Structure 1
């Protein structure tokens, strides 16, 4: 039971996923700070509110005589936050990866190797080692039977 758990934890994909989650959390904190401390005050100033959380509030009466508040400004703030995250992800990650992929495909189409020589499979390498050892043994006068 513990062996299987150890294999699961030490699998490369799990480690990469954990790193991605940590980086994503840190990235989210930065984007939220930019939206909260820069974008929201600017939009709030336009609509004469402290922030988007207090802008576009619509009060609707309830059955018991009170009122409920619909905070459309907070929704707009969340949408802006999402768009900022999507914009940064696109320009920092997606666009460079697509450009790299296009360049790699263009090199392949032009006949140039896209990357360094691709590693051969293990069987081919073992066969080459066997042949070299056999040639070395034959050259030195040793014969294996």
Structure 2
């Protein structure tokens, strides 16, 4: 059981995922700050509230005879935050990667290599080459 966990942790994908989560959290903090400090007060002013979190209040009676206030502006603020983060992720990451994939596919269909010959080999290609060289040195056939 521990051996399986060790193999999982030592995979390169886990480190990539950890870096992505940290960068994503930092990026979300930046977007949240912009939404909270700039966009929410601007939209809140339209609803005659100091911030969007205090906009569109709805007062409802409670069972004990008091009152509770629901702020629908806070929900609108959270939705705005989500939409902005999603838009930036799409336009900064997803769209460019999709564009590169489409270009590579067009090159492949045209019979050209998908990547320029000047592009350095990937880590996987280097490891496969090292494996084949070691196998050749030991006299064993290269693994496929």
Aligning the two structures, in what range does the TM-score lie when normalised by the shorter sequence? 0.7 to 0.9
The count of aligned residue pairs is: 127
Alignment root-mean-square deviation, CA: 2.5
Deviation at 1:116, TM superposition (A): 5.2
Deviation at 1:36, TM superposition (A): 0.3
- Which residue is 1:102 aligned to? 102
Write the distance in 2 (CA, Å) between the matches of 1:7 and 1:111: 38
Larger radius of gyration: 1
Write the distance in 1 (CA, Å) between the matches of 2:65 and 2:77: 30
Write the distance in 2 (CA, Å) between the matches of 1:89 and 1:3: 36
Write the distance in 2 (CA, Å) between the matches of 1:64 and 1:29: 38
Counterparts in 2 of 1:2 and 1:129: CA distance versus 1, 3 Å: closer
Deviation at 1:8, TM superposition (A): 2.9
Equivalent residues in 2 for 1:1-145, closer than 5 Å: 3-115=3-115, 119=125, 125=132, 129=136
Extract unaligned runs of 5+ from structure 2: 138-144
Q: Deviations over 1:45-77 (max 9, x none)?
A: 111111111100100112221112111000000
Deviation at 1:20, TM superposition (A): 1.1
Extract unaligned runs of 5+ from structure 1: 131-145
TM-score by length of 2: 0.77
TM-score by length of 1: 0.77
Write the distance in 2 (CA, Å) between the matches of 1:84 and 1:99: 21
Write the distance in 2 (CA, Å) between the matches of 1:62 and 1:2: 53
Write the distance in 1 (CA, Å) between the matches of 2:105 and 2:6: 39
